[in-house]
């Protein structure tokens, strides 16, 4: 019996297993639910054991990591995922209970189904079906499933560094792949880094009556003036030295960009906007999204924002910013660039607070693992998989790809670009889920051949 036949014949059982996983509210942002977390981690470990792998829960200073391995051979494949999920709020925007999976319109709706429980379980189920078809893998297959990705993986770095030998592999398949708006699988070969900061400005010791607005220092205006030095009126980033840190994109990266089918009209329509920032279009917009850093204002707060009027000069203001970084731009040096940039322009009174940093990660688009990913789709009759040099988002990928030197890609495409990751009514198509189970089984076949 082929893998495809096994998936088709097991759909009902595979779906019930997925529902069971999704009913566990493993929300890493809620530190009080440690018992629920350990139950979820234990469930994942047991599923690996049922598939025939050796599995264990490994402690960190936070939630445990589930580690599993199976098979023997000259080659080793590492698979990364996470069992924690985002908080479901706002609950009133969900059409069904976020932790009671609902089937409608050919999809399954629940918190975590797209990010990342569906992906985690699809790989475990694929392993089980692979073993039914072929027996033990003729290569070593390792799984690293963490429980803190949704809060920035604060304990993953020490875990990886302390277990570098355990995690050693020839290649790694990461979570996070999806299908584009037309159903083409997307294969990502890297992630951007990130420097997340808060800029804080202070005025008087307390809010003042706005009759003093002509002479009282206003921290909101101070922040606005400082922010204008980081991005100009044309929307171009003007942070001193940022571009000098960046590694130029390779010729292969640029060729890959040229082959990506980019439906900008569909993206604008889904966002309900008439144009991209700076009126970027076509390949220039795609290159900006994938190959260039960003200086994004994520939130700004000060003073009175309630109903009616309140005439004050605020005493303090702050802005949260995330700088998405490309290869060569590391969070530490970029943080110093921001401080130096503001200091040179007389804004040394503005405090720059380091909130979070992630390194960029990059695997060459012509790496053998990329070819394996493409050919695995072709084995299933899918000949339009699209290879991206990187994804616009960030994650702890550099711990594996850069620090351990393991070529790392995202593939499998459980989710789609409309799966509402981190939002109410998170969902995936059932056909995509079952297709991913078959895909990972094919990938294991390809890798071991």
Express each pLDDT in 36-63 by its tens digit: 899 999 999 999 999 999 999 999 999 9
CATH class of 192-246+293-358: alpha beta
* 430 pLDDT more than 80: yes
Q: Please give the structure tokens belonging to residue 77.
A: 């494949």
Q: Whole-angstrom Cα distance, residue 141 to residue 73?
A: 9
Q: Whole-angstrom Cα distance, residue 405 to residue 398?
A: 9
CATH class of 3-189+363-448: alpha beta
Q: Whole-angstrom Cα distance, residue 274 to residue 370?
A: 35
Q: Whole-angstrom Cα distance, residue 119 to residue 10?
A: 17
Name the pLDDT band for 77 (thresholds 50, 70, 90): very high
Q: For the chain, what is the largest distance between any 2 Cα atoms, rounded to a whole number of angstroms?
A: 81
User: Domain coordinates of the chain in residue numbers?
Assistant: 3-189+363-448, 192-246+293-358
Q: At what angle do helices 117-134 and 11-22 cross, to 10 degrees?
A: 140
Bridge partner list, 197: 321, 354
- pTM for this one? 0.92
126 φ, ψ (degrees, to nearest 5): -65, -40
Bridge partner list, 143: 68, 79
Q: Whole-angstrom Cα distance, residue 6 to residue 213?
A: 73
Identify the pLDDT of residue 428: 98
What is the average pLDDT across 305-329? 97
Q: Please give the structure tokens belonging to residue 160.
A: 């990886």
What is the average pLDDT across 290-316? 97
* 33 pLDDT more than 80: no
Identify the pLDDT of residue 351: 98
Instruction: Write out pLDDT tens, residues 219-249.
Output: 999 999 999 999 999 999 999 999 999 999 9
Q: Whole-angstrom Cα distance, residue 91 to residue 426?
A: 12
Q: Whole-angstrom Cα distance, residue 52 to residue 125?
A: 11
Name the pLDDT band for 145 (thresholds 50, 70, 90): very high
- Whether omega for the bond prior to residue 116 falls within 30 degrees of 0, making it cis, is yes
What is the average pLDDT across 204-230? 98
Identify the pLDDT of residue 141: 98
* 1 pLDDT more than 80: no
Bridge partner list, 66: 57, 145
């Amino acid at each position: 019996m082929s893998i495809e036949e096994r998936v088709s014949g097991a759909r009902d059982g595979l779906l019930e297993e997925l529902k069971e996983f999704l009913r566990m509210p493993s929300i890493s942002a809620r530190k009080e639910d440690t018992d629920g977390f350990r139950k979820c981690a234990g469930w994942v470990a047991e599923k690996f054991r049922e598939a025939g792998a050796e599995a264990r829960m490994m402690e960190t200073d936070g939630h445990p990591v589930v580690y599993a391995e199976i098979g023997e051979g000259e080659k080793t494949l590492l698979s990364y995922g996470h069992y924690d999920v985002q908080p479901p709020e706002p609950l009133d925007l969900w059409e069904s209970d976020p932790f009671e999976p609902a089937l409608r319109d050919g999809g399954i709706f629940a918190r975590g189904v797209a990010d990342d429980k569906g992906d985690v379980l699809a790989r475990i189920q694929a392993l089980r079906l692979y073993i039914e078809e072929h027996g033990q893998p003729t290569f070593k297959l390792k799984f690293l499933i963490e429980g803190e990705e949704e809060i920035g993986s604060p304990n993953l770095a020490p875990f990886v560094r302390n277990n570098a030998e355990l995690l050693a592999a020839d290649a790694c398949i990461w979570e996070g792949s999806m299908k584009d708006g037309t159903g083409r699988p997307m294969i990502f070969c890297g992630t951007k880094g990130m420097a997340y900061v808060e800029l804080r400005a202070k005025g008087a010791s307390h809010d003042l009556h706005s009759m003093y607005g002509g002479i009282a220092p206003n921290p909101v205006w101070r922040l606005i003036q400082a922010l204008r030095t980081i991005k100009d009126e044309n929307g171009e980033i003007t942070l001193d030295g940022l571009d000098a840190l960046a590694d130029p994109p390779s010729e292969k990266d640029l060729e890959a960009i040229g082959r990506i089918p980019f439906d900008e009209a569909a993206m604008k329509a889904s966002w309900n906007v008439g144009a991209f920032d700076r009126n970027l279009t076509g390949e220039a917009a795609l290159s900006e999204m994938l190959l260039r850093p960003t200086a994004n204002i994520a939130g700004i707060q000060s003073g009175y924002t309630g109903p009616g009027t309140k005439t004050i000069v605020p005493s303090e203001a702050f802005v949260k910013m995330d700088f998405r970084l490309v290869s060569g731009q590391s969070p530490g040096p970029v943080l110093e660039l921001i401080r130096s940039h503001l200091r040179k322009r007389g804004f040394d009174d503005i405090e720059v607070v380091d909130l979070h940093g992630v390194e960029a990660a990059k695997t060459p688009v012509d790496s053998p693992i990329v070819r394996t990913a493409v050919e695995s789709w072709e084995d299933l009759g899918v000949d339009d998989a699209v290879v991206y040099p990187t994804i616009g988002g960030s994650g702890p990928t550099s711990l594996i790809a850069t620090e351990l030197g393991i070529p790392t890609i995202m593939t499998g495409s459980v989710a789609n670009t409309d799966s509402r990751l981190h939002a109410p009514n998170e969902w995936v198509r059932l056909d995509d889920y079952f297709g991913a189970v078959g895909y990972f089984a094919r990938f294991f076949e390809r890798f071991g051949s």
